[in-house]
Structure 1
Amino acid sequence: MKSELIVDVQPKEVSIALLEDSRLVSLQKESRNIAYAVGDIYLAKVKKLMPGLNAAFVNVGYEKDAFLHYLDLGSSFASYSTFLKQALDDRKHQPSLPKMKLKPDIDKHGQITDVLQPGQELMVQIVKEPISSKGPRLTTEITLTGRYMVLIPFGDKISVSQKIKTSEEKIRLRRLIESIRPKNFSIIIRTSAEGKRVTELNHELRTLLQCWEDTVARAQCATAPALIFEEESRIVGVLRDIFNPDFESIHVNDPDVYSQISKYVNLIAPDRSSIVQLYQKPEPIFDHFGITRQIKSSFGKTVSFKSGAYIIIEHTEALHVIDVNSGNRSKAAADQETNALEVNMRAADEIARQLRLRDMGGIIVIDFIDMAKSEHRQKLYEHMREIMATDRARHNILPLSKFGLMQITRQRVRPALDITTAEECPSCFGKGKVQPSLLFTDLLREKIDYLVDELKQTGFTMYVHPFVDAYLKKGLISTFRRWRMETGKKFNVRPDQSLAYLQYRVLDAKGNEIDLKEEKDIDSSATKSKSKAKNRGNED
């Protein structure tokens, strides 16, 4: 399977697309100024205890208080609490965890009021980003993740990934880690550690230990609430989690991010550093790799797949509901039962892809087409388990009920990616009436004159819908060429598939977007409404 990673860096956000055999299977969008991301560690303060929920609300600086349940304190909370108290009481000297004697585990069935009190300072880690009206979810069981291992302070265990199949390799890794593991630290050995030498593993372990010491040092210097450890960029995080030898290429359109990714790949796989490539073509990177078209066709409420069948995806606060429909299939089987099985199997493939693509989590209920035969229902259940095996998020799949419903629970740590594919009219801005399409080129010419004469811009690029781009450049002496000759300035017009038909955007020579929306474009309808209301008032 050919795997490619495409990174689109824009001024306000970064989009990361994972392609398998040129088919989009994962898309992540990240604001460039994101806060409270999974993995970030904060020095926080307990604000309120909720004995009824056996939880506490904690101030981490977010607009809504974060949630910390008793079970998220971790079994080693007594040792953690003692260590943190020593660190915060004497802020000039950092206590040594390996020299500390660990305390007994806390009671699994204890109460939050027994271990926490309002105003207490804690070192907490984000395990679930703010979703909808909820604040972040926290844990005090700190984990520091590397490519080959996960370091967990206040423990004394070594765990090996179940995906490492051979018992010989598990024994080798366990013995190797035991020989280099510092006291009072637990370690989870990840799948990517398989076959690695002691020097590579020891180097990463020392790096993670340094991260821990730096985090404690920042906590000693900080005043709660404060960020004391920031998870590495989402791009590097994605690489860390999914990078494998099958990766054929990583394309990125920003020199700084390209340098960052190249440095990371060169660190973890020097022999694969050549797969990182800087994309420098004028065409938008997502258009070039066919991702924009796939996004438009995959993120709507209705998603079609083979032979006319389709699924309908609805989102609610509590769960996601997916309905499978056969539609007008062109190659339907002779009998209804076989046809239902075939549609359901293909729908399962698409649903598994959609769960990864949209990062849907929580409870997912799927209404498959009814099948009378129990062996067909069992076959569909086993097929869904098989294709979901590659999904890295933790999940659980239940067999079909007698009503043809399948229930799936899937780990949710971030909001589901919900992209609106319906386009707001860029000409009327929702007012219901548009300017004549024939005059759109006149509008573009006005904007170009404004850019050249008023803003003194040169070398800028105007992006338009591909149809408009084709119209502007048709003929020997095209409209575009005539505009360049008349203005006497150098500028470019490029197609962008993400734009609506009568939409445009402009980037200056440095790649910064120029806002050309005039007040009259947006507020003309509101102005008219106010004028009418005023006239009525005068008449009264």
Structure 2
Amino acid sequence: MKGRQIILDHINGHEAAALMVDGQLSDFLFDTDAPRPGTIYRAQALKPVKGQGGIFLSTPDGNAFLRQVKGIAPGQTLLVQLTGYAEPGKALPVTQKLLFKSRFAIVTPDAPGLNISRSIRDDARRDALHLIAKSEMGESNMGLILRSACETAGDDEIAEDIRAMADLAAAVLADATGAPEALTEGDSPHLLAWRDWVEPADIVTEPGGFEACGVLDALDMLQNPEAPLPGGGSLIIEPTRALVAVDVNTGNDSSLAAGLKANFACSKDLPRQLRLRGLGGQIVIDLAPMPKKDRRGFEAALRKSLRADGIDTVLAGFTPLGHYELQRKRARQPLSELFS
């Protein structure tokens, strides 16, 4: 099917959302019993961890770990936000840089100033949005970012969204003292779909939408380590305890350019595969053979794909053995958690 579809349904008793683009599964979100990223805690500092540049905190959902801290004393109360999912047996990753994020607006208490998405290029629209932002934020010392969805949204909708986020931020900041507590909960998959999948799409909300729209078939394919690539190649994606290993295969193509074609196909599809499978951490790609002169082109193509992906990923580069390494934020739960 051509076009975009957003399907909101449930799977294995958990709320889930799927984005289909031209009949291919582009993104998938599902809920679990784990704390959701975006949750804001009032936490209590325990003690610094020497050599790790951070400190453990006590929260209602277990211990959290805050990196790069100075001047925080054991017993001190502070506000932190969950940034991703914890690895098994490890503390929750949190930050002190709070973000109050919705479809049109992001309120940033620690970063004052009014900013508008660069993707909105129409000067008249930017001026109108700036006036709305200034009117709603008034003399507040909190910052505001207006997202790309504001370009076609109604002014009243945007103003209402700004007010809601600003009021929520003010309420949370005013509740900074007391015992450890979860002050807000991260968005559910259906809310995340409304918040982040803003391009025009057909919305399917009827029960059984995943089966009718081919989402279940796509999820079945993702449980296979092998992912086909255009041109006959494939990726073998295997998570281990230490890292995620990705092997690029050329398939039956025995031409001189087979490795180059498979590697560039990998650069385009790997971010989608990692996103759908919920894989992060250290990622090592065993590339198909290609001339060293083409490495820069591969890296540029991969960087472009990852930029569009939206999940923080650091490109570490080539190793002496010719592997390529990435460090990717654990922004999603592994898909295996849904079927375990």
**How would you bin the TM-score normalised by the shorter chain?**
0.7 to 0.9
Structure 1 residues 24 and 170: CA distance shift in structure 2, 3 A: same
Residue 527 of structure 1: aligned partner: none
Residue 133 of structure 1 is aligned with which of 89, 93, 96?
Answer: 89
Residue 385 of structure 1: aligned partner: 303
Measured in 1, the distance between the counterparts of 2:174 and 2:112 equals 23
Cα offsets for 1:256-296 (capped at 9, x unmatched): xxxxxxxxxxxxxxxxxxxxxx24xxxx4433222222222
Measured in 2, the distance between the counterparts of 1:27 and 1:14 equals 11
- The structure whose residues are more often helix, as a share, is 1
8 Å CA contact 1:337–1:372 kept in 2: the answer is no
* Unaligned ranges ≥5, structure 2: none
Residue 342 of structure 1: aligned partner: 261
8 Å CA contact 2:210–2:216 kept in 1: the answer is yes
- Structure 1 position 179, deviation (Å): 4.2
- Structure 1 position 62, deviation (Å): 2.5
Residue 69 of structure 1: aligned partner: 67
TM-score by length of structure 2 reads: 0.85
Cα offsets for 1:17-50 (capped at 9, x unmatched): 211111112222212xx35211111222222233
Residue 236 of structure 1 is aligned with which of 191, 195, 205?
Answer: 191
Measured in 1, the distance between the counterparts of 2:234 and 2:34 equals 37
Measured in 2, the distance between the counterparts of 1:54 and 1:372 equals 40
8 Å CA contact 1:326–1:343 kept in 2: the answer is yes
Alignment of 1:203-242 (within 5 A): 203-216=160-173, 223-242=178-197
- The structure whose residues are more often strand, as a share, is 2
- Structure 1 position 218, deviation (Å): 5.8
Residue identity matched to 1:326: T
Structure 1 residues 7 and 224: CA distance shift in structure 2, 3 A: same
Structure 1 residues 163 and 405: CA distance shift in structure 2, 3 A: farther
- Structure 1 position 403, deviation (Å): 4.6
8 Å CA contact 1:15–1:30 kept in 2: the answer is yes
Measured in 1, the distance between the counterparts of 2:292 and 2:54 equals 47
Pairwise CA RMSD: 3.0
Residue identity matched to 2:43: A
Structure 1 residues 193 and 310: CA distance shift in structure 2, 3 A: same
Structure 1 residues 122 and 17: CA distance shift in structure 2, 3 A: same
Alignment of 1:90-101 (within 5 A): none
8 Å CA contact 2:120–2:126 kept in 1: the answer is yes
- Structure 1 position 306, deviation (Å): 4.3
* Unaligned ranges ≥5, structure 1: 72-111, 253-277, 424-540
Residue 337 of structure 1 aligns to a residue in which SS? Answer: coil
8 Å CA contact 2:78–2:176 kept in 1: the answer is no
Alignment of 1:138-537 (within 5 A): 138-165=94-121, 170=126, 173-174=129-130, 176-182=132-138, 183-194=140-151, 196=153, 198-216=155-173, 223-245=178-200, 247=201, 249-252=202-205, 278-279=206-207, 284-306=208-230, 308-327=232-251, 329=252, 332=253, 336-372=255-291, 374=293, 376-397=294-315, 403-418=321-336
2:16 is the counterpart of 1:59:
no
Residue identity matched to 2:151: E
Residue 19 of structure 2: aligned partner: 18
Percent of aligned pairs sharing the same letter: 25
Measured in 1, the distance between the counterparts of 2:9 and 2:296 equals 41
Measured in 2, the distance between the counterparts of 1:385 and 1:310 equals 20
8 Å CA contact 1:370–1:403 kept in 2: the answer is no
Measured in 1, the distance between the counterparts of 2:257 and 2:222 equals 27
Measured in 2, the distance between the counterparts of 1:407 and 1:172 equals 44
Larger gyration radius, structure 1 or structure 2: 1
8 Å CA contact 1:159–1:188 kept in 2: the answer is yes
